Amino acid sequence: MTHQRILTKSSKDGDIFPDIDYRTSKAVRAGNMVFVEGQTGLTMDGSGFVGEGDPAAQADNAMKNVKVILEAAGARMEDICKITTYVTDASYRDLVYPVLARHMPAVYPCSTGVVVSALGKPYADFEIDVFAVIPSERAAETNSPGS
């Protein structure tokens, strides 16, 4: 099985590691499993940040990104199995979980929530990691996602 790197990029001249050629993917598809890079308020093209000071807006942007990334990998939101959320203040959980629920109605993923002292940028208050599994009956028809 070949791993498919979805939406590859380099950090070179970017916002996080501008002096390092650190190469990553928005997602990696391994068979019918899809691993999504942590998503925040950072826009898909990395040119801006949505929701500085507003964890709910960051979560909304992150989930919009997750949808785009999953679709690029041949998956859907309902294929999400496991999420891990990170917030920089425990009180933010009350703000972000309703947003997540709105983006994943009837999905019921396994979920772990972690409170951390900081994320990649000082203005980021929320991040989510997503793991999805494409059902076998649909995985065969989506074996050639774009990158």
**Secondary structure of residue 80 in the 3-state scheme:** strand
Q: What local confidence, expressed as pLDDT, does residue 140 receive? A: 75
| Cα–Cα dist 133/4, whole Å | 14
Q: What local confidence, expressed as pLDDT, does residue 85 receive? A: 98
Q: Give the chain's residues under pLDDT 70.
A: 1, 12-17, 142-147
- Sequence-distant (6+) residues with CB within 8 A of 27 are 6, 7, 34, 35, 36, 37, 69, 70, 72, 73
pTM: 0.89
Q: What local confidence, expressed as pLDDT, does residue 25 receive? A: 86
Q: What local confidence, expressed as pLDDT, does residue 14 receive? A: 63
Q: What local confidence, expressed as pLDDT, does residue 7 receive? A: 85
Q: What local confidence, expressed as pLDDT, does residue 147 receive? A: 42
Output 136-141 pairs: Cβ under 8 A, ≥24 positions apart.
136/32, 139/31, 139/32, 139/74
